[in-house]
Structure 1
Amino acid sequence: MPAAAPLLLLHAICWWPLVLFLLLPPLPLFALTNPPTFISLHDSRLNHLLQDSSSGYVYVGAVNALYHLSSDLQLISWGKTGPTLDSPDCLPPIEPKDCSQARQTDNINQLLLLEKQEGSQAQRLIVCGTVLQGICEKRSLANVSQVLYHTANPVDTQYVAANDPRVSTVAVLTEHRGTRLMLVGRGYTSKGPGGIPPITTRRLEQYHSSPAFSHEELGKLVVGSYSEYNNQFVKALHHGTHIYFLFSRRDTLKTRDYQTYISRLCAGDPSFYSYVEVPLSCTGGYNLAQAAAMGTYLGKATIFVAMAAGQASTPTPTARSALCAYSMEELDQALKRAQVLCYTQEGKGDKEKEAYIAYEVSSKCLKLPPVSHH
């Protein structure tokens, strides 16, 4: 495991203004003259949607199935992903004699990503579900019933997605020095193997003795007690030269309440040395992010976040919600300020301590020469 840098677990007390949209103008109504006739097979619930910009094909992750549609939403291929003999209390491969509680279990799609290989026509669909401790497989883009990669005997470092459908998993793909990587954010689950950090880096191909999708010898977010912070992930995105994660978690140092945070690390930083996070506030007491999307507001890159007010000190949202907008430029300024303060000023701003290590680890903010944070 790479040595942890002081910035690995940094968070800053920065509250930035936002735009709150409570009243939206009416949208124009329209109708399709020839609506698509696609109907999901097996009455399956749909979870994720992905479009290949080069072909126009649409891929849909569902419960126990994958669908491959044309640009006009006609079915091209489909594949089954479940149900599967499984139990969250047992490690795969599942053998009935060793796991008496195993039952035929629905496989809920958690991740659906398009893997593109630079300089090659090779493209594959990465599919990760809730069964078998969240292991992933690769499927053909031309025929999603065709499995190109699947491990029959996964090791514990290959468990990727949360094995509980109520716990979210997010991911984004990147590349570092020719190696294709997947950065994964997953929430805490009480059943199954422990010790899987909230954010991990995964190789998409086998590397020496480390199999595909393993986080062995790669960067990860080390926080101490995963259940204590109980991260609830909403979004992972690649913007500019950085990777961002949007999530809510419990503030264990002060209020014990749940708060939404955005974190950032350099896309070319597989060791997480550049990791930093700041909390997001939303006027009106909205503290739990529910969904997010990148867009533009007033000509600037903006992340729009659907926020809900939480129920007391729990991660459970109430029915009270709002749409909040955060300028990526201002967020980056806050994130950079937190880095600089923690590296060069022991976290101290002009009047008070603004940046500190928020997690239960031995790292602390330092006072290094100003050039050290670059």
Structure 2
Amino acid sequence: MNPRLLHAVMLLWVLCSSAQGQCDKSPETNKLNLSVNYELPTFTADFPIQNMVTLDGIIYVGAVNRIYALAPNLTKLSEYHTGPLLSNETCGQTLTGASSGSKVDNHNIALVVENIYDKGLYSCGSADNGVCRRHVLDDDNSPKTVDEHVYCFADKGRKGKGQLIDSDVVVSASGSQVLNVESNFIMFFVGNSEIPGTGNVSDSATHPHTISLRKMKTSQNGFTFYSDLSYMDLIPPLRGNYYLRYVYSFHSGPFTYFLTVQRVSMDSEAYHTRIVRMCSSDRVIRRYVEMPLECISTDKRRRRSSEIDTVFNILQAAHVTKVGNEVELQKQLKVERGDDVLFAAFAQGKPNSPEPTANSAVCIMSLKHINKMFKLYMQKCHTVDPFHFTGSNKKSCYNASSSDDCDPHEGINEGKESKYRLQVTQFVQRLEYWQKELTNTLVTSITVVIVHGRAVVYLGTSDGRHIQMYEADDVGR
């Protein structure tokens, strides 16, 4: 959802797993009847909504200055006030040495659930200096409201003493993607956007790392890094001068992924989208690779077409789901039922700008194909050092010969574990599936729900419209 455009939101009951089976299947031959009125449950927030997650059927909504807990029928169960705060506060506490500040709104940057220690919710706001708050929702004794047991998830921040340690500074006010990958403990994979001109650059020790992975302490009062290899930062000359926006994150198989928008290269003024892949089992950033993605449109829908392709280069939103019963989709993507696929909403960017135009397209990509291309390009050494993290763009190769690229022993040679940090130089291009329907439209959000074995796609637009589409047997229709 676009926080700048939404003030009141209608949350559709179809997004709740408890209600997905309540709709009768409509005959595919039915024509659109614009005279039908639908009575849908709604919830209107007092402040702009920015994030939403679910846990055990309860919907948790992150908004400016508020966290809401909603029942499946969208009735408000409880709410927690996160702001406004004084600009020198962290979780309501003033740290030692902090100067006085004025009141500022607390935008919800990230909302994350966990289910290992206690059932919990992490809310990370823009006015908390990158620190998250932990809401204990069930401590094995009884369920709790979202405002009943909340504490600052940073030991020094909670006591209001000293300087925060960098592992507890999780998010950036410019925007973040936070993904909880649970195994026997809680690991947060975090990508923090770097947007020039937003004032998110700081020389202090508490500036959030650009990309990182951190483990929750067993004491449950903060996070810890395994080592200084658990994070990467933009090189100093690029801080404040390089556009890097983390748009979406997800976990599939042994990998954790981020989708970003950034410059094509340091020698180019153009922008594009990249997919970043890391091994979920790594405790430091040991195996890291990123690759450009493009969504293209051609009238003849064949790559050998002589028609000029229309390139949609700026990702706006994405959603990963499992393949359903769509036989034609399985055939086109060469996937099977249950495989993970990425639905991605792209826009055409303005010339030499990361800003989108009102011309969108949706592409569908299988994770099987994306991983195949990662492996192919790495084997062919179509890779260089990622300049924005290393300061070098020299050719760099890694022999990705293992059948499981995240195997603990993958790439070990003469007792040394494998390690790579690479940028693929070749594009992965996919044909659009919906484009003509989205001409003069800027898509800002996408959600996919499997209904009766078929993918139903819900699109939100910059002008407040809600569009429902489904993957027809004629793929690309």
TM range (shorter): 0.7 to 0.9
CA–CA distance in structure 1, aligned partners of residues 149 and 212 of structure 2: 24
Q: 2:230 maps to what in 1?
A: 219
CA–CA distance in structure 2, aligned partners of residues 103 and 26 of structure 1: 56
Q: 2:188 maps to what in 1?
A: 182
Q: Give secondary structure in 2 for the equivalent of 1:134.
A: coil
Q: Residues 82 and 179 (structure 1 numbering): CA distance in 2 closer, same or farther, change over 3 Å?
A: same
| Contact residue 175 and residue 268 of structure 1 kept, 8 A | no
Letter of the aligned partner of 2:261 in structure 1? S
CA–CA distance in structure 2, aligned partners of residues 91 and 61 of structure 1: 16
Q: 1:149 maps to what in 2?
A: 151
Q: 1:293 maps to what in 2?
A: 319
Q: Residues 38 and 281 (structure 1 numbering): CA distance in 2 closer, same or farther, change over 3 Å?
A: closer
CA–CA distance in structure 1, aligned partners of residues 233 and 96 of structure 2: 35
- 1:168 matched to 2:175? The reply is yes
Letter of the aligned partner of 2:384 in structure 1? Y
Letter of the aligned partner of 1:138 in structure 2? R
Structure 1 unaligned residues grouped into runs of 5+: 1-24, 342-346, 348-353
Q: 2:386 maps to what in 1?
A: 358
Q: 1:158 maps to what in 2?
A: 168
Q: Give secondary structure in 1 for the equivalent of 2:369.
A: helix
Q: Give secondary structure in 1 for the equivalent of 2:232.
A: coil
Q: 1:132 maps to what in 2?
A: 128
Aligned pair count? 323
Q: Residues 91 and 315 (structure 1 numbering): CA distance in 2 closer, same or farther, change over 3 Å?
A: farther
Q: Give secondary structure in 1 for the equivalent of 2:51.
A: strand
Q: How far 1:307 moved relative to its partner?
A: 0.8
Q: Give secondary structure in 2 for the equivalent of 1:79.
A: strand
258, 278, 300: which one pairs with 2:291? 278
Q: Residues 241 and 95 (structure 1 numbering): CA distance in 2 closer, same or farther, change over 3 Å?
A: closer
| Contact residue 278 and residue 334 of structure 1 kept, 8 A | no
Q: How does 1:68-79 map to 2 (within 5 A)?
A: 68-79=69-80
Q: Residues 227 and 56 (structure 1 numbering): CA distance in 2 closer, same or farther, change over 3 Å?
A: same
The superposition leaves residues 49-88 of structure 1 with CA deviations (integer Å, 9 ceiling, x where unpaired) of 1112xx2111111110111111111111111110000169
Q: How does 1:41-120 map to 2 (within 5 A)?
A: 43-52=46-55, 55-86=56-87, 94=94, 98-100=98-100, 102-117=101-116
The superposition leaves residues 124-179 of structure 1 with CA deviations (integer Å, 9 ceiling, x where unpaired) of 0011010122210101322111344313343343222222xxx3211111135x33
Q: 1:198 maps to what in 2?
A: 210
| Contact residue 378 and residue 398 of structure 2 kept, 8 A | no
CA–CA distance in structure 2, aligned partners of residues 335 and 369 of structure 1: 9
Percent identity between the two aligned chains: 26
CA–CA distance in structure 2, aligned partners of residues 115 and 172 of structure 1: 10
Q: How does 1:7-26 map to 2 (within 5 A)?
A: none
Structure 2 unaligned residues grouped into runs of 5+: 1-29, 138-143, 297-309, 403-409, 413-477
CA–CA distance in structure 2, aligned partners of residues 98 and 112 of structure 1: 27
| Contact residue 158 and residue 215 of structure 1 kept, 8 A | no
Q: Give secondary structure in 1 for the equivalent of 2:268.
A: coil
Q: Residues 27 and 169 (structure 1 numbering): CA distance in 2 closer, same or farther, change over 3 Å?
A: farther
Q: 1:12 maps to what in 2?
A: none
Q: 2:25 maps to what in 1?
A: none
Q: Residues 251 and 237 (structure 1 numbering): CA distance in 2 closer, same or farther, change over 3 Å?
A: same
Q: 1:320 maps to what in 2?
A: 359
The superposition leaves residues 66-111 of structure 1 with CA deviations (integer Å, 9 ceiling, x where unpaired) of 11111111111111110000169x99954799524x2111111111
CA–CA distance in structure 1, aligned partners of residues 276 and 72 of structure 2: 34
| Contact residue 342 and residue 365 of structure 2 kept, 8 A | yes
| Contact residue 88 and residue 95 of structure 2 kept, 8 A | no
Q: Residues 44 and 74 (structure 1 numbering): CA distance in 2 closer, same or farther, change over 3 Å?
A: same
CA–CA distance in structure 1, aligned partners of residues 41 and 398 of structure 2: 61
Higher relative contact order (CA 8 A, sep 6+): 1
Which protein is bigger by CA-based radius of gyration?
Answer: 2
| Contact residue 181 and residue 280 of structure 2 kept, 8 A | yes
